[in-house]
Amino acid sequence: MKLPLSVLMYRLTEDHGCGYETVNADVSMEFDGIKLMDVADAGDNDADRGESGRYLYLIDEEEFESEYDTFLSSERMSSQIYVCLCRSEKSAVCTSCRELSVVFLFADVKFAYMFNCIQNIMKKFDEWEKSFHLSLLRNNSMQELVDITEELVTHPLIVLDNNYSLIGHTRDMTEVGPLIRRVISNGYASPDDMRKLVESGAVRERDLDRDTFYSIAYRFVTGGRTVGYALAFHCLSHPTNGYLYLMNMIADKLSLYFEHHRKNENAARESYETFLAGI
């Protein structure tokens, strides 16, 4: 699957404690994978080698600095987005090489180790997407879809249908308060629960202009009507932009559950009506 740059950086920060700085790089851009930069390929084109897709290029700070002018003078190389592995934020390359599109990744680790870390993150998301769609095709429950997704969401998540019945939640809910614990225990959100959630600001669509918020609400709409909600809790700290990009991506996948079930319901209704008409 194509992974947004912001989500990749979020996972590197969360999983490996990396810091980073983006320069002339759109964090919303999506990539098919990452490659090692080979200066000898500077004049080649992926399409000429039968390859397609958009890739990041990993390079260490010494090579990036020494080959910087070569990259700038090459039409193809100057259009790439680089991930430059730096030992610290004080590396000279961070101040001297800022005309290209680059993510300076700060981690005092071996180059091969970081390459494998990035590969493993992308592989994990690929496997998740395949498992998610296979589970969807098997008409599995929302709970099973959330179970597949839990490793990626980092923080607690609950999903309600349009009657506020609980249809899925992450197993680890240690960060949530007593109100959400009651919803999970009861299996639904009562009118009083919903009133308190609204008053707390939890049940409102994501608004990035708010100064502080520790939960994100998504409303799923299918066929012009609301069919469900997802509440993602980030109770201990303000969510980063990378986490917001991640949750937007996951919410898009969860919405497929409601679309899939609506199509199944319509097909069943049409079949039943055809049967009745033939009697």
Q: What pLDDT is stored for residue 263 in this prediction? A: 66
Task: Please say whether the beta carbons of 43 and 121 come within 8 A.
Answer: no
CA quadruple 61, 65, 67, 70: dihedral sign: positive
Name the nearest CA neighbour of 216 among 232, 201, 229, 230.
232
pLDDT digits 0-9 by tens, 201-231: 665 544 433 433 468 889 999 989 999 999 9
Alpha helices, H only, the chain: 5-16, 61-66, 68-73, 93-96, 111-137, 142-153, 178-186, 191-200, 241-277
Name the nearest CA neighbour of 87 among 104, 111, 59, 106.
106
Q: Residues in the chain with pLDDT < 70?
A: 41-52, 201-214, 235-237, 263-279
Q: What pLDDT is stored for residue 262 in this prediction? A: 72
Q: What pLDDT is stored for residue 239 in this prediction? A: 79
